[in-house]
A and B are shown apart, each in its own frame.
Chain A
């Protein structure tokens, strides 16, 4: 068991503070497109925070397999991009079904802010939590996304 970011769409108000704060914390600018998570809004009734920390076992669209440099791996339970190995080809971003990898010259994804995720701090409604997530709960979280 490791600590993971867990999304609870039933609590999400759709305010997107998480996206703003993620980009400001990591990139020093506010730009929701540079956030390492995003809130999917398929319609009026649904706001779904998409996050990736534990390997989501994305099957055919696996970022780990898509990376020709083998720069992506699971380190201490966290899917991690080794930016020293990244060539910036963008294959992982194309592969990612949840759109939570963004590219400038290199690929970037959630690194849990070094162990104290800002998005969770700024989510008073409890749509994002940082908790011990077993495989079953993570699988069910992904299942709600896959319906979209």
Chain B
């Protein structure tokens, strides 16, 4: 019997690959956002809107993560940006290895901004770095104002929170003030934008944040 003392972080292999991805992004001068939310919160709609709003200023590429299917990558291409689809075949999040193979298909030098649209899931994606410069998340108002309290990790890890579907505010009981207050209690630095990706309302702050990330 041999006992070996080790101290190894369980996610070190992923963290190492994420650091390699990050080096490739930095060398190409491209900024990368890891966009996370529950399914149906509006990630792809936000990206379609963002491509329409910022596509003339910033060359945008998208890595689409889905368990299966390529509908989202097709929507992004129709919106006018390059897209690469990853199918995780069951896995509930993207990891650095999956993103490395997807970005190999993108000409990074011809892009300013890459958004990695993670698998729809409010829990697991927050645990796995993919080499991003920043994590951003969407919570749509109809999901309810108790979500920061119930799923705090993603709010803790994100630099930006977009409260989406604000156009539905008259029809739902969720209180955006409570979402914002609880999100800031978890993460005092988080930037919050109240938006409607489908009407375009409130997106200027998000665009400014992306512009600032690109200049950084």
Does B associate with A? Answer: no
- The chain A residues found within 8 Å of chain B, CB to CB, are none
Tell me the B residues contacting A by CB distance below 8 Å.
none
